[in-house]
Structure 1
C-alpha cells in the first residue's frame, strides 16, 4: 500500500476507532506503529544504521495526536528529547503535518527556543516549508505542547493529500534541513558512559530508588550479574513486588526505553503453543509477519553496540517449552568466532528473507507467578536461567521516599552487559582458583542431590563459575553472599516433591547452608544471621515447613 493511502486510512478511521478501547488489533494501531514506519524505512535516504522510525497512538489509551517520528540516532534515540522529523496528525484528523520538532518531555523551554531559532535560520523562505507558529493540531494539552515544539512544517489536508512522490520529496527536503543543523551542532544525545561494574550497580540502584521503588543494592547487583552471566533471567514471586518494574528501570537507567525501541514488554498469552507467536509466521500470501521478539532482534542486529532488554510478562501463562524452545536452543549454541559471540540460525532465510540469528546484545527476562492459571517449568528451562525470587515485602519501609535526588539516565554501550565467558576454559584461564573452589563446593552439593535425580550438570556448574568470576572482578559482593545467590537461583528451583528422600536432602542442604541441624520444629522464626548462606538456609527452612504442613513442597510455593 502506498504512503499516501496509509496516511489517508489513518485519517479516515482514527476518530472512530479512538472511541473503542486501545488494542494492538486495531487498524489504526497497526498503521501508525507498523505499516507507515515500514514504508518509510524503504526510502533510500533513510538508511537504517542512522535513522530510527517509530510511530505511536498512545500507551494504554489513545493519544489525541498520533505521530510517526524519524530520528537521527546521532542526535536522539527518544521522542522525549532532542530534535527529529515527525508526522503529526491533527486531533480532528483533517490535517497532517510533516514537521521538524523537538522532544517536549525532557527539553527545557530555553533550549527549545534556542534550537528553534538555529534551525529556522537554515531554512530559506519558501512557500512549501513554513517556519511560523501557525500550526494547528487541536485544543488538548498534548496538541498545544506539540505545537510549541515545532520548528518547521509542511501542512497537508485530508482532501488534498499529495502523491507518494511528493510526500517523499517533502520528507527528503526536511531531512536535508535536519542534516544541515546536525552537522553544525554537537550531537544532543548524551555520550555513552564507561562504568565499572560497581559504578554501574551504584548508578542503577540510585536511579531505581529515585523512581520510588525499594530494592537493595545487593539485589540490583545480583540482577546485573545474572544478566551478564546469561542473557535469560526468570523473576519469580507474588504479584505486585515489582518484578517488571525493576527491569524497566534498570533498562531506562542505561538509556534503553520503549521510546527508542531498546526495551520491550511482551505480554505472554495462554494460547501460545509454538514459536510463531513470539518470532513470527508466514501468512497466506507468503509474507513473513515478524513477531514482537523478532522485531527486537532485527533492531538489535542493526545496533550491535547497544543493549536491548525484553520482558516476557507472565511468562508461564503458556508452556514455556512450547513457544520458547527455539530461542533456548539457539541461546545454547553461542560460541566465539573471530572474537565475537555468534549463534546458530534462529529463523531461516526462506522464512524471513534473510537468516536471523540471536544477537548477544538481547537480554530476555521472564516474569512469573505460580498459581492455578500458570504452568510449571521443566529442568530444561531452569538449567538455562537464573531464577531470582522477589517475595520480600516491607510495606513499612518508607525512607526511600524522602529527599531522594533525581537521577538522570546514563546511556551505556553493550560492553557493560556483554558476556566475557561462554566456556569454562574462558574463566579458568583468568580465575583457576575460583573455579576449583566452586567446583569442590558443587561436588559436595551434588552428592546430596544425586539420590533425587536433581543434581546439576556441566552447564549449571559453568554458569555459576561465570557469575562468581564477574562478581570477583567487580568486587560487588563477598564470595559467600554471591554463592548464596547462585545456590538459590540455579539449584533450589529444581527441588520439589513429597517423599522422604527430598526431606533428607533438604535437611542436609540446610546443614550445609546454616551450619546446624534443624530441630524438626519449623513453626518458629529462624535466625540465619550467622549462616554461611542465609538466603538459601531460610528458603530451605520454608520448604521444610511446607513439607511438614502439607506433605508436599516446592521452591515455587510460598511459605
Structure 2
C-alpha cells in the first residue's frame, strides 16, 4: 500500500510559519492538518479507526505554538487532555518533528506523568531505536516545555533530513506496538512481540478516501448510471448512515428511492453478486420477524431468513460494509416484524474498542448466538398511501427519515456527458460510527454539542404543546450527524441542521386541532424569523431564511390543515 505521509509532514514544516502570519479562521493549512493528514494515517493498515482516534490541531481560535497530530487508542483515551497516546509534535521553529509516546498535560499531574513515563520506558526492548531521554526540545514557550515533559519516548526527525517514507511508516508502526505493549502490560493482556512490521494485514485493507472525495465519487457514479440526485442528497444519505445504520427513504412512487440505495451501495463495491447488497421485498402479511430472520420448522431445524443470511455474511467479513434494502417497508406494520432488530440496534456499545450489540438470535434457536454486526446498514423505502401503514414514534425516533419528493423532470443536462465511473471498494471504517454515546463526542468536540443543544431547546419548547418534544436519543443522533458533517466539511451547520429537523423532528407531527396549528406557526417563526401569513400560498425565501427545507414543509403542513382539517408530515 502506497502512502505519502512524508510529503505531508514536510508541507506542514514548510508552510506553518508563513501561515502564522495570516488570519487563522478558515486557513487551508488547518483543514489540511485536521483532515488530509489524519486521513493519511487512517489509511495505514495498522491504524484501524474502530480502534484508534486520529486528530490533528493547529490551534483553537489562534495558531498553536506547537501543532500536533495525535493517535489515540479508544480504550485509553479519545482526548489529548488525558491519558497517554502517540503524537507527532512539531517544534516552534519548524526545524524538527518528534514522533512521541506522550501524555495529556491538561488533566495529568506532574507526579503521575513522571511515574507513567518511567513505566513506559521500562517496557521498551533495548534494541528499539526510540529515545528514552529528556533531550526533546520543542521551544521555549510554556506549552512547548509542558509537551516535552509529557513525552516518555520519542524519535526525532530534522526538517532538512526527513527519512524515506518507508522508514517513517515503519517507525510509526513500531511506536504503535510500543503503545499497545504498554497497554497490554497495564491490563495483563497480550505480551509484546517486537518487529511486527512483518505482519502483513494490507491484503484486507480497502481504499480510503476523505469524506468529501468519497461523496464526489458516489455522486459521480450515480450520475453515470443516468440518475440525477443533487449532491446534497448524497451527502445527507451518507451522514445519516454514518450516524446510525438504519435509514428510511420516503416519497411518492417513481422517484428512484430503490435505485438511489442500489447505486449508492454499488459505488462502494457492494452489490448482489458479491453478497454485500441484499434486496428484501416486504410482504403485507408479515406479522412477526420470522419471515425476515427465520424460523424453526416442524423438524426442529432453523430455516434462515434473508436478513439472517446477510447478517452472517457481514459477521464473516467485518472489514466490509453490507447493505440490506427493505423495499416497500411499510406494506406490513414495521413494529410487528422489525421490533427485535430495532431493540438490538439500540443495545450497541463499546467493548475492547469494538462496537458490539446484544444477541438477536439465541443459540437455542439458530444453533449459534447471532448479534447485529456493526458493518450492516439497513435502509427501508416507503410510500405513504392507502395501501401502507404509518410509523410509530418508536420507529421514527430510531431512524433518519429522508423524504424523496423533489422531482425535476425537465433537468436533462446530466445526460449530455455521461462518463463511466468504476466502483471503489471501501472498507467498513469509512461508514462506521465513531460515536455511540454523547460522552464519546463530548470528549472530542463539546462545542458542537452546545451549538446543537441550544437550537433543539428552542424547538422543544414549542413541541411540548402537543407532547411531541424530543428525547435524549434524538438529541444525541442529531449531535452525531452534525459532528460528522463538521469533520468532513460537507455542509454548513445551518444546512445540515435543516436536514436533521426535517428527518428527526417534523415526521413525528400530526393533528387536527388548534394546538397543531399553533405549533406549526411557532416552528415557522423559529425557522424563518418571520410570522406565518394566512395567504393562499405563503412563500419561503430559501436564500435568506434560517432553515428553508423545514420551513417549506411547515408551510405545506399548514396548507393541508387549512384545506382538510387534519395534517401530517406523511400525507401526500
- Hey, what does 2:475 align to over in structure 1? 461
1:252-271 matches, within 5 Å, as 252-271=266-285
Instruction: State the alpha-carbon separation in 2 of the partners of residues 466 and 301 from structure 1.
Output: 25
Instruction: State the alpha-carbon separation in 2 of the partners of residues 431 and 536 from structure 1.
Output: 26
Matched residue pairs, number? Answer: 370
Instruction: State the alpha-carbon separation in 2 of the partners of residues 435 and 522 from structure 1.
Output: 39
User: For the Cα contact (< 8 Å) 1:307–1:361, is it kept in 2?
Assistant: yes
User: For the Cα contact (< 8 Å) 1:522–1:544, is it kept in 2?
Assistant: no
- Hey, what does 1:430 align to over in structure 2? 444
- Hey, what does 2:213 align to over in structure 1? 199
Indicate which of 354, 379, 390 corresponds to 1:365.
379
Map Cα deviations across residues 314-352 of structure 1 (whole Å, 9 max, x no partner).
Answer: 000000000000000000000000000000000000011
| Residue 382 of structure 1 pairs with residue 400 of structure 2 | no
- Hey, what does 1:342 align to over in structure 2? 356
| Residue 209 of structure 1 pairs with residue 203 of structure 2 | no
TM-score by length of 2: 0.64
Instruction: State the alpha-carbon separation in 1 of the partners of residues 275 and 350 from structure 2.
Output: 27
Classify 1:331/1:406 alpha carbon distance in 2 versus 1 (closer, same or farther; 3 Å). same
Instruction: State the alpha-carbon separation in 1 of the partners of residues 375 and 474 from structure 2.
Output: 22
Classify 1:190/1:306 alpha carbon distance in 2 versus 1 (closer, same or farther; 3 Å). closer
Instruction: State the alpha-carbon separation in 2 of the partners of residues 315 and 347 from structure 1.
Output: 22
Alpha carbon RMSD of aligned pairs, Å? 1.1
Indicate which of 536, 545, 555 corresponds to 1:531.
545
User: For the Cα contact (< 8 Å) 2:204–2:319, is it kept in 1?
Assistant: no
TM superposition shift of 1:528 = 2.6
TM superposition shift of 1:524 = 5.2
- Hey, what does 2:569 align to over in structure 1? 555
TM superposition shift of 1:441 = 0.9
1:202-241 matches, within 5 Å, as 202-241=216-255
TM-score by length of 1: 0.65
Map Cα deviations across residues 418-439 of structure 1 (whole Å, 9 max, x no partner).
Answer: 0000000011111101101111
| Residue 470 of structure 1 pairs with residue 484 of structure 2 | yes
Instruction: State the alpha-carbon separation in 2 of the partners of residues 301 and 192 from structure 1.
Output: 17
User: For the Cα contact (< 8 Å) 2:527–2:548, is it kept in 1?
Assistant: yes
| Residue 540 of structure 1 pairs with residue 554 of structure 2 | yes
Structure 1 spans left out of the alignment, 5+ residues: 1-188
| Residue 481 of structure 1 pairs with residue 456 of structure 2 | no
Indicate which of 387, 394, 412 corresponds to 2:426.
412
- Hey, what does 2:299 align to over in structure 1? 285
User: For the Cα contact (< 8 Å) 1:228–1:419, is it kept in 2?
Assistant: yes
TM superposition shift of 1:440 = 1.2
Indicate which of 452, 455, 463 corresponds to 2:466.
452
TM superposition shift of 1:523 = 2.6
| Residue 513 of structure 1 pairs with residue 527 of structure 2 | yes
- Hey, what does 2:312 align to over in structure 1? 298
Classify 1:357/1:412 alpha carbon distance in 2 versus 1 (closer, same or farther; 3 Å). same
User: For the Cα contact (< 8 Å) 1:522–1:541, is it kept in 2?
Assistant: no
Instruction: State the alpha-carbon separation in 2 of the partners of residues 414 and 526 from structure 1.
Output: 40
TM superposition shift of 1:238 = 0.2
Instruction: State the alpha-carbon separation in 1 of the partners of residues 205 and 424 from structure 2.
Output: 8
Map Cα deviations across residues 30-49 of structure 1 (whole Å, 9 max, x no partner).
Answer: xxxxxxxxxxxxxxxxxxxx
| Residue 330 of structure 1 pairs with residue 330 of structure 2 | no
- Runs of 4+ aligned residues of structure 1 deviating over 2 Å after TM superposition are 189-192, 522-529
